[in-house]
Amino acid sequence: DLIQYTLAVDRDNDDVDYLYQPLHPAILRLIKTVCDAGARHEVPVSLCGEMAADPRYTWVLVGLGLRELSMQASAIPVVKNIIRASTLDEMEALANAVLACETAAEARRLVMQEMGMRFPEHLQHAAGVELGDDDEEPISSVGRVVSE
């Protein structure tokens, strides 16, 4: 819903679904701004839904400051594996590079290049991630995994 309402795009409408871009610079800056404000005021920030469950975005989301992600249970193992195989420095570096991108296409190329090199086995399944709102489960342990 965050992307849908921020970009005024209905992802279920075939006429405009191509405009639904999780890596749109406005979306990334919005997430970063909220995470920074949450950290300043010691308020936890979490993200739920398709973007949280998509392994292509794991590094970016954690790098932007998210420490709690909620997603369909079937997506949890892949996301946790990516986080456990990574350092916070790596995730923050990619997030900062993506924040510097001027377009969603540029950000997407950067993310796919980096994540494709590190986690090709997980990205093969990324397109097949299908989520339903009724089946989401929080994985607040992501914060503990990241800080270890």
- Domains along the chain with CATH numbers: 23-147 (3.20.20.60)
Identity of the residue numbered 49 = G
Nearest to 30 by CA among 11, 7, 53, 49: 7
Residue with tokens 């709690």: 68
Residue 132 has pLDDT above 50, yes or no: no
Asked if pLDDT for residue 120 goes beyond 80, the answer is yes
* Residue 135 scores a pLDDT above 90: no
17-40 pLDDT tens trace: 666 688 989 999 999 999 999 999
pLDDT of 133: 31
Query: Phi, psi at residue 67, to the nearest 5°?
Result: -120, -5
Residue with tokens 């377009």: 103
When pLDDT is cut at 50, 70 and 90, the band that residue 49 belongs to is confident
Q: What is the DSSP string of 37-66?
A: HHHHTT---EEESHHHH-GGGHHHHHHHT-
